[in-house]
Chain A
Amino acid sequence: MSPRTAPSKNRAVQARRSVLLADGTIAHGARPRMEEEFLLEALRWMMKSRLYDQKVIALQRQGLFGVYSPGIGQEACIIGSAMAVDPVRDWMVPQYRELMATVHHGLPLEVITAQYLGKIGPARIPEGVKVLPTQVSIAAQLPQATGLAWGLRLRRQDSVVITYVGDGGSSEGDFHEGLNLAGVTRAPIVFFLSNNQWAISTSRKVQTATRNFALRAAGYGFEGVEVDGNDVMAVYDVTCEAVERARSGGGPSLIAAETYRMSFHNTTDNPSRYQDQKDYDEARSRDPIERVQKYLAGLGLWDAKREAQWTEEIREENERAMKMATEAPAPRPEDVFANVYEEPPPRVIRQRADLVDGQGG
């Protein structure tokens, strides 16, 4: 065990949870909830996430896609957490790096893709899909997610909210206000903090002097747990426990998932200006997808042939969604005025008419 994974002397915090080690073996004494079939499903989703990111980056480089923040390296967080919530009952409140989590939660891939392509109608989250829009204002989603969870309980619904934030977001005032209010109201919510070690170019060490983000939870009067965020089995386990706690009235939880952003912040970024190659290489050796493949290979459930076949199938699925999104109707000029007010003020109606007339339409 490295010093960073050693059990904490502080009894309030459990040791970092870990099930599937980087070498593809199961941690001593771990009793994971995920069985093989389910792990295969998780692997498929993780691969889908990575292949989608890779495709988008390629398209962005050709000017065919907008600014994009890939989840490469964080697939265990993205998928392990999403698999622990119920798309029928539970709500997901994303930041922006959890794209495939929202897809797992029922948001069609072509819809979220259309959002990145600047579409309006085709990018609308369908009725019944319990996902809130991508949040770009860092941590603003947290008090909102708390309010949602609190409100769902007031409405006597059997729902839990999962919301995501980064290591950078943990420094925002909204982090404090959102978590504190959740503690006070005992809202049924899971705060999933993906510590990918970076906020653009700012190191995680600049964000907080705390050793362990999970410690923060103690200050809000609820459970905090640290997990190996590159271990989909452990992420799934701790998220299931947090969801069960929330659903049974046990209040909120903070999950601090230790992971690594194995790509750039977004397509405008250049990590070579600030990132140490050694750290990156070290993270590569802990790849969340490869360890699952190794483990499954040891069980005879994975080989190069299957990998090639899945890759091919997933690429096709992803491309189908991209094609649908690309071919969906482009916004019309008057869509500038769409979805602002249920009943726009007369002035806005006049501005819309002026724009339409100016277009000769």
Chain B
Amino acid sequence: MAERNIVEAINSALAEEMEADPRVMVLGLDVGKLGGVFRTTSGLVDRFGAERVVDTPLAEAGIVGASLGLALAGMVPVAEIQFLGFTAQGFHQIGPQLAKYRQRSRGRYHCQVTIRAPFGGGIRSPEFHSDGVEAQFVQSPGIKIVMPSNPYDAKGLLIEAIRDPDPVLFCEPDRLYRGRRSEVPDGAYTVPFGKAQLVREGEQVTLVAWSAAVELCLRAADALVADGISAAVLDLRTLVPLDVETLCAQVAKTGRCVVVHEAPLSAGFGAEISATLMEEVFYDLDAPVARVAAFDVPFPPASLEDYYLPSLDRVVAAVRRTMEA
């Protein structure tokens, strides 16, 4: 079995699906010869040709809107939005159009479209490039929201996304793109949506996260061992669909929960997790559900991002407070 990082895992998923299904195509900014600004589409144009790996004009609404039309024509487009923050320029084609098209057409049409977009802080990106706006899309029912945290999931979830008859927003944690390699099988496999994964066992508290924050939570869980605290880490993998069952069962087991995300606190997806736990497992809780998130200010210049994003210290401190409650 091969060892791959997330960039290589995504590249492998795209290549597998393009090989298996001639309808699958990739489009977006600089996805051709350059292979994308993070090289996730590297080599695909040489292998599959410029008709299926298309450098588009710089126009996000156009990329998404055209993908919708391509899907109706019978293609299976995988569109890349260069950075998730720039979905703002195409938002109306995502939430109001792509997500609603099946309903608006009374089920006559559906949109087998995947939108891939890197995001997240921690790599000293310029303005707008780091914005974690995933929760904005949760208010657009009809589109699935996938947030892989590791190479194995990145490949399996992306193949699942490409094969899903409904639209999928696939958010890639750029901070982890070239992180640790791990085992990623050759060939196609899928990781199902709506199945959270317990990535670390623990007895006393559950850290709930997705995307790059999972890696942070794993480090926090390691650090907490010194305090004698046994923390589990639950990776949600997908926000829509949400695995309410695993989430609730896991938190009920430990009785304590800290949700960690890199998007701002207020109305972030952590609020949804916390509210869900209140509704479902309130009487199993030994402490209030805590949240550690970015602050309610716009993403600052890169020189300040370490203060803005949830840090190891903030996560560890929140867990300690939760244990004392």
Is A132 interfacial (CB-CB < 8 Å)? yes
Is A177's CB under 8 angstroms from B65's CB? yes
Is B69's CB under 8 angstroms from A140's CB? no
From known contacts A143-B62, A181-B56, infer whether A340 and B68 are also in contact, taking CB-CB under 8 Å: no
Is B61's CB under 8 angstroms from A143's CB? yes
Is B241's CB under 8 angstroms from A154's CB? no
Is A125's CB under 8 angstroms from B73's CB? no
Pull 6 A–B residue pairs with CB atoms less than 8 Å apart, ordered by A. A133-B108, A147-B67, A150-B73, A181-B56, A340-B103, A345-B240
- Given A133-B104, A150-B70, A342-B164, 18 extra CB contacts under 8 A: A125-B105, A132-B72, A137-B97, A143-B66, A144-B69, A146-B65, A147-B71, A150-B66, A154-B51, A157-B73, A174-B61, A178-B65, A180-B59, A339-B103, A340-B103, A342-B102, A345-B194, A345-B241
Closest A-chain residue to B52, C-beta based? A154
From known contacts A144-B69, A144-B97, A148-B73, infer whether A340 and B105 are also in contact, taking CB-CB under 8 Å: no
Most buried by A among B57, B66, B104: B66
Is B245 interfacial (CB-CB < 8 Å)? yes
Q: Which range holds the interface residue count of chain A? A: 35 or more
Is B244's CB under 8 angstroms from A346's CB? yes
Chain B residues with CB under 8 Å of A345's CB are 194, 240-242
Is B74 interfacial (CB-CB < 8 Å)? yes
Is A358 interfacial (CB-CB < 8 Å)? no
Closest A-chain residue to B67, C-beta based? A147
Report how far A346 CA is from B240 CA in the complex, Å: 10
In the complex, chain B residues 44-69 whose Cβ is within 8 Å of any chain A Cβ: 51, 56-57, 59, 61-62, 64-69
Closest B-chain residue to A153, C-beta based? B73
A115-159 vs B, CB cutoff 8 Å, 1 = contact: the mask equals 100001101111100001100010010111111111110110100
Which secondary structure dominates where chain A touches chain B?
A: helix
Chain B residues with CB under 8 Å of A137's CB are 92, 96-97
Is B179 interfacial (CB-CB < 8 Å)? no
Give the distance to chain B from A179, nearest Cβ to Cβ, in Å. Answer: 9
From known contacts A151-B72, A178-B62, A342-B166, infer whether A143 and B244 are also in contact, taking CB-CB under 8 Å: no
Is B277 interfacial (CB-CB < 8 Å)? no
Is B106's CB under 8 angstroms from A173's CB? no
Is B61's CB under 8 angstroms from A173's CB? yes
Give the distance to chain B from A333, nearest Cβ to Cβ, in Å. Answer: 15
Is A338 interfacial (CB-CB < 8 Å)? yes
In the complex, chain B residues 228-269 whose Cβ is within 8 Å of any chain A Cβ: 240-242, 244-245
Give the distance to chain B from A331, nearest Cβ to Cβ, in Å. Answer: 10
Report how far A184 CA is from B63 CA in the complex, Å: 13
Most buried by B among A121, A140, A148: A148
